[in-house]
Structure 1
Amino acid sequence: MADWDIRKLQILRTLRERGTVTATAEALNMTPSAVSLQLTNLSRQLGVPLLRAQGRRVRLTDAARLVLRHAEAVFEQLERADAELAAYAHGEAGEVRVGAFSTAVPALVVPAVTALRAAHPGVSVRVREAEAQEAYELLAAGEVDLALSLAAQAPTAADPRFTRVPLLADPLDVALPRDHPLAGAAELRLADLAAEPWIFGGSGPWSDITRAACEAAGFRPHQGHAAAGWTAILAMVEAGMGVALVPRMAAVRREGVVMRELTADRPVRHVVAAVRKGAGEGAAVARVLSALRTAASETGEH
């Protein structure tokens, strides 16, 4: 196979456009002797004559024109590559892999992806649902570029592997059966529900959050039923089987459930994003983080 040298092909292309070695040298900021040497070397590499003397000028041979005809396709593809690389460098292109916990996907990730499609269609996001521990394992292993989790389950800010980015404080509301005596109360505190059966997971982060919030309000919650999924929890609340703390991001409207905002002792859960140290400076990742911040600002509190 012939030795195709892009730089030398560009010189040959410029000679075709400018007509003389001197004009080619001026256009490329080279000396005429350097232009002649490069074209001589290219002719040797390709094994065909590229120039023919015509008086004090040179003209391209038929072989040179054949070479340039094929080289144009290469130049076109390189222009596309340059454009795509420039877009990538400026955050206008690239794929970002996101690991996110279940309620963050519809509340934060989907709005962020929708906004990015409109503003930066070259940036694609690949989503993987994962709870906190798995998300950080994936992040550390390089299998995702960005992880969303609750701050309580995230590595500490001192972890040298990651940079944490606060996104929002997600308020926890109380889900009550529609006919509950306190469903229409003017004000509601967690302590008002101390005697109620509570519905939350038997273990895991949401169990810890519910227990901690109730204990901060002065009582230990009686677990009437154990469930981890919000659909199951809200269905049991609707059936009058108990009450539950529900993050505002996860709340789904049900006819038989009243969502009440707590007053003085309202708990929140803090949602954070994390990237590997230094990765947040990547333009595409920065675009996704910016879109997530915007989605968070429209969803919760800061």
Structure 2
Amino acid sequence: MAEWELRKLRILRTLRERGTVTATAEALHMTPSAVSQQLTNLAAQLGVPLLEAQGRRVRLTDARLVLAHTEAVFEQLERADAALAAYARGEAGQVRVGAFPTAVPALVVPAVRALRETHPGVTVRVREAEAAEAYDLLAAGDVDLALSLAAEAPSAADPRFTHVPLLTDPLDVALPPDHPLARAAGLTLTDLAAESWIFGGSGPWSDITRRACERAGFSPEQGHSASGWTAILAMVEAGMGVALVPRMAAGRRAGVVLRELGADRPVRHVVAAIRKGAGEAPAVDRVLRALRRTAGRAA
């Protein structure tokens, strides 16, 4: 099988277009002797004569038919150049995003929709993960960008990550509609100290609920354990207890009253994290910017 060299094939194609070695050399910023030498080498590699003398000039032999087959190669190379240029401008590429459950519908999905309109060549692959797990995935290289909670972040001195604050998400209290405090004025977390609380037995939401209540001066009595918002809100609706619910959480229920708390209102801080230096990747930067715009609207 012949060895193909694109540079020499380009010279051959230019000779076909320009007609003379001199014109070819001028077009390619080469000397005529260099053009002749490259074409002689190409003929030797292909095992067929490419040029034949015609007076003081040369012309291509019928072996120029090789160009009919190489045009497809040149076309694909042009496409590759265009794809690389789009990638370099952040207009194409794949970004893997790890996000905790409530961030997926509230932040990631709207950001992906916006990117489809502005940068359809950027593909986002979403992986749902708990807030702490998102950092493990990021450190392992399994995702390119992680959405998590500041409370779950490694130390700010950790040299592996760059953190980007996205929003402060207030926590509201979910009450059954017939609860005596469902419409009380100036409701605070302390007013609910004697309630039966619904939250997970472990994990970030358990920690957030316990910390919020402890800052308000009491330790919450856990009446039921659940980690999914559908289960938690269903139990609240049934009058089985109360729960803290992040405002950006999906799955609100008509039979649940969500009340904003007063002075002791707890919040959680949502952050994005990337590996140090990864923000220089244009596609990652595009996704991060889309998430920041979405978070700004959500806030």
TM-score between both structures, scaled by the size of structure 1: 0.95
Contact 2:106 2:250 in 1 (8 A): no
How far apart are 1:286 and its partner, in Å?
0.8
In the alignment, structure 1 residue 37 sits paired with structure 2 residue 37: yes
Q: Which amino acid aligns with 1:293?
A: R
Deviations 1:6-59 (A, max 9, x none): 011111111111111111111111111111111111111111111112122221
User: How far apart, CA to CA, are the structure 1 residues paired with 2:160 and 2:48?
Assistant: 56
Deviations 1:73-130 (A, max 9, x none): 0000000100101111111111111111111111111111111111111111111111
Unaligned runs of 5+ in 2: none
How far apart are 1:134 and its partner, in Å?
2.6
Q: Does the C-alpha gap of structure 1 residues 81 and 39 become closer, same or farther in structure 2, counting only changes over 3 Å?
A: same
Q: Which residue of 1 aligns with 2:239?
A: 240
User: How far apart, CA to CA, are the structure 2 residues paired with 1:189 and 1:57?
Assistant: 95
User: How far apart, CA to CA, are the structure 1 residues paired with 2:241 and 2:195?
Assistant: 7
Deviations 1:186-207 (A, max 9, x none): 3221112112111111222111
Q: Which amino acid aligns with 1:49?
A: P
Contact 2:11 2:39 in 1 (8 A): yes
Q: Which residue of 1 aligns with 2:146?
A: 147
Q: Which amino acid aligns with 1:262?
A: L
Q: Does the C-alpha gap of structure 1 residues 251 and 191 become closer, same or farther in structure 2, counting only changes over 3 Å?
A: farther
Deviations 1:106-164 (A, max 9, x none): 11111111111111111111111111333222222212111111111121221111211
In the alignment, structure 1 residue 10 sits paired with structure 2 residue 2: no
Q: Which amino acid aligns with 1:273?
A: A
Task: Name the SS of the counterpart of 2:298 in structure 1.
Answer: coil
Contact 2:146 2:273 in 1 (8 A): yes
Q: Which residue of 2 aligns with 1:171?
A: 170
User: How far apart, CA to CA, are the structure 1 residues paired with 2:157 and 2:206?
Assistant: 26
In the alignment, structure 1 residue 106 sits paired with structure 2 residue 105: yes
Residue-pair matches, total: 299
How far apart are 1:181 and its partner, in Å?
2.0
Deviations 1:228-270 (A, max 9, x none): 1111110111011111110011142212101111121211111
Q: Which residue of 2 aligns with 1:118?
A: 117
Runs (4+) off by over 3 Å: none
Q: Which amino acid aligns with 1:288?
A: V
Q: Which residue of 1 aligns with 2:95?
A: 96
Q: Which residue of 1 aligns with 2:196?
A: 197
Unaligned runs of 5+ in 1: none
Task: Name the SS of the counterpart of 1:8 in structure 2.
Answer: helix
Q: Which residue of 2 aligns with 1:53?
A: 53
Q: Which residue of 2 aligns with 1:28?
A: 28
- Percent of aligned pairs with the same residue? 82
User: How far apart, CA to CA, are the structure 1 residues paired with 2:9 and 2:187?
Assistant: 77
User: How far apart, CA to CA, are the structure 2 residues paired with 1:50 and 1:155?
Assistant: 66
How far apart are 1:68 and its partner, in Å?
0.6
User: How far apart, CA to CA, are the structure 2 residues paired with 1:97 and 1:145?
Assistant: 5
In the alignment, structure 1 residue 282 sits paired with structure 2 residue 281: yes
Q: Which residue of 2 aligns with 1:224?
A: 223
Task: Name the SS of the counterpart of 1:171 in structure 2.
Answer: strand
Considering only aligned residues, what root-mean-square deviation do their CA atoms show, in Å?
1.3
Q: Which amino acid aligns with 1:78?
A: L
Q: Which amino acid aligns with 1:50?
A: L
User: How far apart, CA to CA, are the structure 1 residues paired with 2:257 and 2:132?
Assistant: 32
Contact 2:131 2:204 in 1 (8 A): no
Contact 2:105 2:250 in 1 (8 A): no
In the alignment, structure 1 residue 188 sits paired with structure 2 residue 199: no
Q: Which residue of 1 aligns with 2:135?
A: 136
Q: Which residue of 2 aligns with 1:272?
A: 271
Task: Name the SS of the counterpart of 1:155 in structure 2.
Answer: coil
Q: Which amino acid aligns with 2:62?
A: D
Task: Name the SS of the counterpart of 1:298 in structure 2.
Answer: helix
User: How far apart, CA to CA, are the structure 1 residues paired with 2:83 and 2:68?
Assistant: 24
Task: Name the SS of the counterpart of 2:254 in structure 1.
Answer: coil
Q: Which amino acid aligns with 1:289?
A: L
